[in-house]
Amino acid sequence: MILLVTNKRDLTTDYIVRELKFRNVPYIRLNTETLNEFKCSIGYSSIDDWRIGDIKGNQITSAYFRRPSPTTVIHPTLSEAELEYLNMEWLSFLKSIYYRLDNKWLSSPTNIALAEDKPRQLVAANALGFQIPQGIITNDVFTVMERTTNESLIAKPLRQALLKGKNESVIFTSQIPSLTPEYEESIAFAPSIYQQEISKKYDVRVTVVGNKVFPVAIWSQTSEATKVDWRQGGRIDLLHEHIDIPDELKMKCINLVRDLNLRFGAIDLVCDLDGDYWFLEINPNGQWAWIENQTKLPIASSIVDELLKISENNYES
């Protein structure tokens, strides 16, 4: 049985569910925000000695870590501190289950978390021979000025792109014509990624599932709002087009995902005006349903294929 770990609102998992139903593959969808509604237990006798409701550990042959949400206990007589304590206990329980799934994951939560480290991504991509824009990760304006041409730069967050609060907002990639010492105080607040801007022909999203590669051009330069960061402006009408990329680049993408101990990855590249490809980053658990919806590429089917391979290996062992 395949386990899908996510939340009620995750539409991407719906694509996987549809494919599993089409193939008559048994599965269970665990929406983690409702975990406290089930009777759960973890035993000591073996790694498979656990239960969530009717799900038993020895029934699970592969698992997909998608978008779990925090378990939320609601009770009218409990204080906020008590509720927070209970929610943290449920998180600890979940983490123990994650560990026990071990080699059954498409990509394990631990490896996903490690692969979200953008400096690590850049080192791994550089070792594989990807072209990477010249740049530096720093909070020192003088280091940026030394390690770049200090002309036509971009700046982007090191990790957290979401600015939380009453008016929640997203921090997108921004252009910086050049830096001077006057920026020292504002840049010193926190490290960011500073790179030379690449003049784009289009953006490229490469979805990797096992040994399968799905490259898609996102024609971001057709709209002023999306030229720097295609996510900005909410342009759902941007043309997404399945393209071919050089075999050598495909292998680099596959090897990058593998080197990060993943079976899935969403890689962001840029194709410049000369047709050369530049590595930006990899999202180790990125969204892909909108790509399949726009291009009809069989990403959900490929993920199910990979989960079934994992299941076969666990049946054999």
Residue boundaries of the structural domains of the chain: 2-105, 114-131+199-286, 134-197
**CB hemisphere CA count around 247 (13 angstroms):** 0
pLDDT score for 316: 54
Q: Print the SS3 string covering the chain.
A: CEEEEECCCCHHHHHHHHHHHHCCCCEEEEEHHHHHHCCEEECCCCCCCEEECCEEHHHCCEEEECCCCCCCCCCCCCCHHHHHHHHHHHHHHHHHHHHHHHHHECCCHHHHHHHCCHHHHHHHHHHCCCCCCCEEEECCHHHHHHHCCCCCEEEECCCCCEECCCCCEECCCEEECCCCHHHHHHHCCCCEEEEECCCEEEEEEEEEECCEEEEEEECHHHCHHHCCCCCHHHCCCCCEEECCCCHHHHHHHHHHHHHCCCCEEEEEEEEECCCCEEEEEEECCCCCHHHHHHHCCCHHHHHHHHHHHHHHHHHHC
Long-range pairs for 276-280: beta carbons < 8 A, 24 or more residues apart: 276/131, 277/130, 277/131, 277/204, 277/245, 277/246, 277/249, 278/130, 278/131, 278/132, 278/133, 278/198, 279/122, 279/125, 279/130, 279/131, 279/132, 280/133
Closest CA to 192 of 231, 159, 225: 159
Superfamily of domain 114-131+199-286: ATP-grasp fold, B domain (3.30.470.20)
Give me 212's structure tokens: 């399968």
Answer for the pair 35, 43: CB distance below 8 angstroms, yes or no: no
pLDDT score for 273: 97
CB atoms within 10 A of CB 100: 16
Q: What angle do CA 178, 194, 181 make, to 5 degrees?
A: 45
What stretches in the chain show pLDDT beneath 50? 317
pLDDT score for 174: 85
Closest CA to 245 of 289, 276, 274, 283: 276
pLDDT score for 118: 96
Rg (Cα) of the chain, in Å, rounded?
A: 22
pLDDT score for 222: 81
Give per-residue pLDDT as tens, 274-305. Answer: 999 999 999 999 999 999 999 999 999 999 99
